[in-house]
Amino acid sequence: MTRQILPIAALLLGSAFLLFAGGVNALILPVRGTGEGFSAFSLGLLGTGWAVGYVLGCILTPRLVARVGHIRSFSVLASIAGLSVLLSLLLITPWAWIPLRAMSGFCFAGAAMIVEGWLSERSDANSRGTIFGVYMAINLFATTAGQMVLTTGDPMGHVFFVYAAMFYMLALIPTAVSSSASPKPLIQARLNLNELYQNSPVSAVSAFFVGISNGTFGTLAAVYAMGIGLELQTVALFASLPLLAGAVAQVPIGMLSDLVDRRLVLLAMVLVALSAELALVIVQPGDTAIVLLAVAILGAAIFTMYPLLLAHANDHASPEKYVLTTGSLLLVFGIGAIFGPLIAGIAIETIGPSGLFVTMATAHVLIAAYSLWRITVQKPVPFEEKAIFVATSPTRTATPQTAELAPQPENVSVEVHEG
């Protein structure tokens, strides 16, 4: 394993710095914004801005890389991401933070794409599984560490903004000094809704609502936690535990979905999510341990839904279309993530913190209704025709390059569209 990982250690380190900075930045903004008295609607717009920037980054970064190369592109993107964090410290107003968050999302997506493309180039059929697993573990650890670092100080100061900017800058160094040759052109995400829907209606429709749900939670979980009076240390746990639970749950859920109709597994996860959401809305437990348990169960459900949808879409796609199917599905998810925080922000303004889970529960009810209907009109995919389930990041960090880096059956050939 060491022989496989050592040559790409610089790239993995750069990715760890990038995800750590992203973890800090994603949590400090809603926490600080709540402390500054920003409305839930404006904080929801931060998530909308991030999602818009992230989708545009997935679409446009391949063109930038084709023009100036991988190293220069990564350096520019990481630098601008760091600049956006520092400007957020200087301009403490939601109307500055929203475009700056969009800028950060664009840069983050582009930088992640470059790292993943590089890693994919350095892996082969024998090492891809190991490299992908290590990459996913490092990203999860770095994101969680970035969020948990907020427990070490006062979010109303400047320190955490500086930390995020510093680690964006640190991400520059490993790739800049790496001797690895630049990889082949990046895959450009392309949105073909008609083809995606014809291929897998459940995946196409549900990905939009999963984007609403997960985008909402990723943006406003801290707002809910602070709204019900949790301490800062518990707020960080509230945001981090679902990520860890989602990562742990992917292996058993993926194995189960390989054996039975994935739509049934999706429905089971929706029911689990709804149970946790209803508990947090109706019961509203005052015991912190119960709150954390409920949100961990919620994370195990919501962060396994997108990988299930991706596997189900690939069940209906020819092997050479796997990566392109992933790109389209990712963009549908991203479009949902644009609307989710906006809707939830209005809900929180209207009915209070529980508006977060009312929004998410509504999205999950719609997923369940549509999936049940599709189960009645279309038979499941035969076991022998199923694609492999591949665990993906439980955070909003997947890019089209993630699919290329992930382990694939030996007969899969990847189509590459230069930007």
For residues 279 and 292, what is the distance between their CA atoms, to the nearest angstrom?
12
CB burial of 175-199 (b: ≥16 within 10 Å; e: otherwise) equals beebebeebeebbbbebeeeebeeb
Alpha carbon 270 to chain centroid distance? 18
CB burial class (10 A; 0-12, 13-18, 19+) of residue 264?
Answer: middle
Mean pLDDT calculated for residue range 157-169: 93
CB burial of 205-230 (b: ≥16 within 10 Å; e: otherwise) equals bbbbbbbbbbbbbbbbbbbbbbbbeb
Q: pLDDT-based confidence at 418, cuts 50/70/90?
A: very low
For residues 96 and 185, what is the distance between their CA atoms, to the nearest angstrom?
34
Q: pLDDT-based confidence at 417, cuts 50/70/90?
A: very low
Mean pLDDT calculated for residue range 126-141: 80
CA distances from 153 to 149, 212, 321 (A): 8, 32, 48
Q: pLDDT-based confidence at 278, cuts 50/70/90?
A: very high
**Which residue is associated with the tokens 């697993």?**
133
> Is 200 in a helix, a strand, or coil?
coil
- pLDDT of residue 394 exceeding 60, the answer is no
Instruction: Dihedral sign for Cα 253, 255, 258, 259, please.
Output: negative
For residues 140 and 7, what is the distance between their CA atoms, to the nearest angstrom?
21
* Lowest mean pLDDT across 6-10, 111-115, 350-354: 6-10
Mean pLDDT calculated for residue range 250-255: 87
pLDDT digits (tens, 9 = 90+) for 210-239: 999 999 999 999 999 998 888 888 999 999
Question: 131, 122 in Cβ contact below 8 A?
Answer: yes
Rg (CA), the chain: 20
Q: Tell me, what DSSP letter sits at residue 153? A: S
> Is 412 in a helix, a strand, or coil?
coil
Report which of residues 114 and 212 the model is more confident about.
Answer: 212
Tokens of 7: 């040559």
Q: What is the pLDDT of residue 419?
A: 39
Out of 129-138, 152-161, 292-301, give the one with best mean pLDDT. 292-301
pLDDT digits (tens, 9 = 90+) for 55-77: 998 888 888 888 888 888 888 99
Neighbours of 370 (CB within 10 A): 16
Q: What is the pLDDT of residue 344?
A: 95
Q: pLDDT-based confidence at 413, cuts 50/70/90?
A: very low
Q: Which domains does the chain have, with CATH numbers?
A: 9-179 (1.20.1250.20), 191-405 (1.20.1250.20)
Q: Tell me, what DSSP letter sits at residue 353? A: T
Q: Tell me, what DSSP letter sits at residue 329? A: H
**Which residue is associated with the tokens 């930007």?**
419
- The torsion angle over the Cα atoms of residues 365, 47, 217 and 143, rounded to 10 degrees, is 140
pLDDT digits (tens, 9 = 90+) for 316-339: 776 666 667 778 888 899 999 999
Share of the chain above pLDDT 70, in %: 87
Mean pLDDT calculated for residue range 293-318: 88
> Is 38 in a helix, a strand, or coil?
coil
Angle between helices 262-278 and 288-315 (to 10 degrees): 160
Question: 138, 8 in Cβ contact below 8 A?
Answer: no
Q: pLDDT-based confidence at 182, cuts 50/70/90?
A: low
Is pTM beyond 0.85? Reply is: yes
pLDDT digits (tens, 9 = 90+) for 20-60: 999 999 999 999 999 999 999 999 999 999 999 999 988 88
**Which residue is associated with the tokens 């015991």?**
287
Q: What is the pLDDT of residue 338?
A: 94
Average pLDDT, the chain: 85
